Structure formats: structure tokens, C-alpha cells
Amino acid sequence: MEVPFRHIRNDFPILQEKVYGKELIYLDNAATTQKPKVVVEAIEQGYYKTNANIHRGVHYLSMRATEAHESARACVARFLNASDPAEIVFTRGTTEAINLVASSFGEAFCNEGDVILCSEMEHHSNIVPWQLLCQRKKLQLKVIPILDNGDLDRQALRAMLTSEVRLLAITHVSNVLGTINPVKEIIRLAHEHNIAVLIDGAQAVPHVKVDVLDLDADFYAFSGHKMYGPAGIGVLYGKRKWLDQMPPYQGGGEMIAQVHFSGSTWNELPYKFEAGTPDFIGSTALAKAIEYVEHLDMDAIARYETDLMHYATDALLQLGDVRIFGTSVHKSAVISFQLGNIHPFDVGTLLDRMGLALRTGHHCAQPLMDRFGIEGTIRASFAVYNVPEEVDVLITALKRIRTMF
């Protein structure tokens, strides 16, 4: 297969590292991706040259740090095709973004007896915040089932879009099955019933082009660290019409207009949702990561990663006793599997000793494991810097492991 991105491996120094004296083969990209030099250098330069608290200072460094942070926001807005940078709220990551919506949207728009919908393939961070909201406001959380191949059950979805539903929270791409949900169509259907939709984009943004206006998403969340950026910074995109009506999520500096003991008023968007000092170095480094993937071209990344995923799927299936979970035709670069009857943890531990970093376990999707009646899987997840030779090493390693049992 063609490998258009082989040259970029030099941008990621960690890929030259050895583990236990073996070449590192990093196939745990759905957990977090490695960072290109431009991102690490942006963090270093930020602290060396422009470190000062933002928004509050009139001095030179503070103004430069503020400019960098706000231009990062504009960069994210452009990347997601949001109509206004004020609709981009910086958070710590996807988890915090979803908690923000569950808390604030829930406070403003949900009442006893209302329903929140999610799906069977959600990550815990798109389940538990809704469970907490449901407990707090006496709502019901209903779950859209999936089919055996890992596709969402669209018939069930249609039947569940009723007038009691206030919000549908669904992942764009499953971190276990790789399924790419038809979110544009899902949002259109939900909107026919005046249901707001939150998309968990944690596994989509690094792999497919996202256009929030075209999707007509009400909320879209993602994490910097899964898309070649730093940990500790993420994004909530929210339509102004919702964000304007939602109460603040946290109180503190910067989110206020006026504070008096007689009462306080809130800052304009997006600052109303950004209490305290944000990760202004992280935002700048995230913008570098965005520029990096834009330069490679998101469509070319998606094509290559799909080819690599098919290459790996074919090779795994040739082993004979591999069971793959998630066989949708609309699939991103994640493969969850089991090898014979060998416990995934044993496979993962032995792979580690051979230099291969794969994830094993429930992948923060225990309800999905329940759905398939399993405890866990081994997961290979790919990024743009992975190459077919790494898949070949994985297959050889799995063959070796098989002989040990």
C-alpha cells in the first residue's frame, strides 16, 4: 500500500525511542497521540517567551499571551467551521466539555420527567455526566441500541425521538468499534423533534474533517491530546443560541462582568464559561497541532488511515482465530479484537514486552462490553504516522503469543 506520510515520522522524536531495547511501535493513538516537534516547541517557546496571565494585564507580555490565546480560539473556530470564535469555549478536554453541557444545559432546559438520549457505544464520559444530571433533576437516560456490526440501530433511534427528549448525546466515532456515526443525518432527525444534539468528537477530529455548521451540531466536543496537541486543553463548540441562555458552569475570575456582595453578573461569550486562568500555553500549542494536520490535509489523512486500517484488518483476519468487534463499513482507524481465548490483558502485557503499545480492557466503555458479553478487547488504534510495517510486526508478535498458550 502507498504510504504518503512516511516522512513525517521524523517530526515525532518519540517514535525513535526504544522500549525494552526494542523499536517502539505505538498503536494506542485513540488513548492519546504523540506530539510533533512544532507542538512541543510551541509549549517551550510559550513559557520561555510569552508567559504571562492573559486578559488581565496591560503589560506587553500579557497582551502577547492574550493575543496568542485568542488567535488559537480563532484557529479552532476556522478548523471546525464555527461561525464565531465566541462559540469556542476552551475546556480541559472532551470530558469537561460534556460535563459543562450536562450541568448548564441541564440546569436551563431540563425538568423532571424529561429524557436524555445517548447510545450503547458511548465512552463513560458521555454517559456519567448525564447520569449525574438525571439524578439531580429526576430525568431519564435512555439508550439507543446498536447492531451486531457496531452500527447504530437507526430504526430504534427514530422511534426514540419523542417530545420528552431534551438532548441527544452521541459519539461521532466510537473509540472501541471505530464506527463513524452518520451524525449529520442524526442531527437532522433530532432537530425535526426540536431535540438538541451534543456530538462527542474526541475520536473524530483527528481523523475526519469536521464542519459544525454543515452538521448543524448544537454542541461539539473534542480533546487536544488526541489530535497531536497537548493534554489539558480541549474544546466545546456550542451554538450561541444555547450558550447565551445557559448559566455559567463554574464561578471565578474572568467569567464575570461585575462582582458585588449584592450579586454578580456574567461576562460575554465565551468567557462566561471560562472561569479562572485557562491553559493559554496549551491553547497556542493546540493551534499548532491544528495547523499541522491542516497542512497534511484532513482528507488525505482520512484516506491513508482507512487504507492502513483495512490492511491491518485483513492481516488480523488471516490469523484465523481473531474476533473483531466493530465491522461497520463506515469505520475509522480503530480495531478492537480478541485473539482466540487468550485474555486481552495477557496479550497486551506480552505485546508490551515486544515493544508494542496497544490498549487492553474495557476502553472506558463498559456498557458496550456488556452489550457484547465480554470483559474487554485488545485495541490497535492508528495515527497518520503509523506505517504498514508496524502492522506486520504486530501480526508476527500475535503469532508468537499464540504459540505460548
Q: Which stretch binds ligand PMP (CB under 6 A): 111-119, 198-206, 256-264, 372-380?
A: 198-206
Half-sphere exposure of 57 (CA within 13 A, CB side): 15
Q: Which is nearer to ligand PMP, 66 or 91 (CB)?
A: 91
Q: Which stretch binds ligand PMP (CB under 6 A): 17-25, 91-99, 308-316, 322-330?
A: 91-99
Q: Which of 33, 34, 62, 171 binds ligand PMP (CB under 6 A)?
A: 171
Buried b (16+ CB within 10 A) or exposed e, 148-184: eebbbeeeebeebbeeebbbbbbbbbbbbbbbbbebe
* 364 near ligand PMP, judged by CB under 6 A: yes
Least gap, CB of 101 to ligand PMP (angstroms): 13
Q: Which is nearer to ligand PMP, 30 or 302 (CB)?
A: 30
Least gap, CB of 79 to ligand PMP (angstroms): 17
* 200 near ligand PMP, judged by CB under 6 A: yes
Q: Which stretch binds ligand PMP (CB under 6 A): 90-98, 136-144, 154-162, 317-325?
A: 90-98
364 is catalytic: yes
* 95 near ligand PMP, judged by CB under 6 A: yes
Residues numbered 253 to 312 that lie near ligand PMP (CB under 6 A) are none
Residue with cell 470530558: 95
* 331 near ligand PMP, judged by CB under 6 A: no
Q: Which stretch binds ligand PMP (CB under 6 A): 64-72, 199-207, 281-289, 332-340?
A: 199-207
* 24 near ligand PMP, judged by CB under 6 A: no
Q: Which stretch binds ligand PMP (CB under 6 A): 54-62, 89-97, 139-147, 394-402?
A: 89-97
Q: Is the link from the previous residue into 270 a cis peptide, with omega within 30 of 0?
A: yes
* 50 near ligand PMP, judged by CB under 6 A: no
In this structure, what C-alpha cell is assigned to residue 261? 456582595
Question: Rg of the Cα trace of the chain?
Answer: 22
Q: Which stretch binds ligand PMP (CB under 6 A): 93-101, 141-149, 296-304, 353-361?
A: 93-101
* 390 near ligand PMP, judged by CB under 6 A: no
Q: Which of 73, 123, 288, 359 binds ligand PMP (CB under 6 A)?
A: 123
* Residue among 278, 291, 266, 284 at smallest CA distance from 89: 278
Size of the site for ligand PMP (CB under 6 A): 14
Counted residue by residue, the chain has a size of 405
* 128 near ligand PMP, judged by CB under 6 A: no
Least gap, CB of 325 to ligand PMP (angstroms): 15
Beta partners for residue 220, in sequence order: 199, 237
Is residue 268 a contact partner of residue 240, using CB atoms and an 8 Å limit? no
Helices 298-318 and 388-404, interaxial angle, to 10°? 30
Contacts of 200 (CB under 8 A, 6+ apart): 94, 98, 122, 123, 125, 126, 169, 170, 171, 172, 221
* 235 near ligand PMP, judged by CB under 6 A: no
Least gap, CB of 339 to ligand PMP (angstroms): 22
Least gap, CB of 74 to ligand PMP (angstroms): 23
In this structure, what C-alpha cell is assigned to residue 150? 457496531
* Residue among 221, 222, 214, 268 at smallest CA distance from 244: 268
Q: Which of 66, 94, 332, 338 binds ligand PMP (CB under 6 A)?
A: 94
Distance separating alpha carbons of residues 128 and 332, to the nearest angstrom? 24
Q: Which is nearer to ligand PMP, 62 or 179 (CB)?
A: 179
Distance separating alpha carbons of residues 21 and 271, to the nearest angstrom? 48
Q: Are strands 356-357 and 25-26 parallel, antiparallel or unpaired?
A: parallel
- Beta strand residue intervals within 67-176, DSSP E: 88-91, 115-119, 140-144, 165-171
Measured from the Cβ of residue 204, the count of other Cβ atoms closer than 10 Å reads: 23
Q: Which of 203, 328, 360, 386 binds ligand PMP (CB under 6 A)?
A: 203
CA distances, 254 to each of 59, 67, 258, 265, 402 (Å): 17, 16, 10, 11, 57
Q: Which of 50, 175, 283, 377 binds ligand PMP (CB under 6 A)?
A: 175
Instruction: Return residues touching ligand PMP (CB under 6 A).
Output: 30, 93-95, 123, 125-126, 171, 175, 200, 202-203, 223, 364
Active site residues: 364
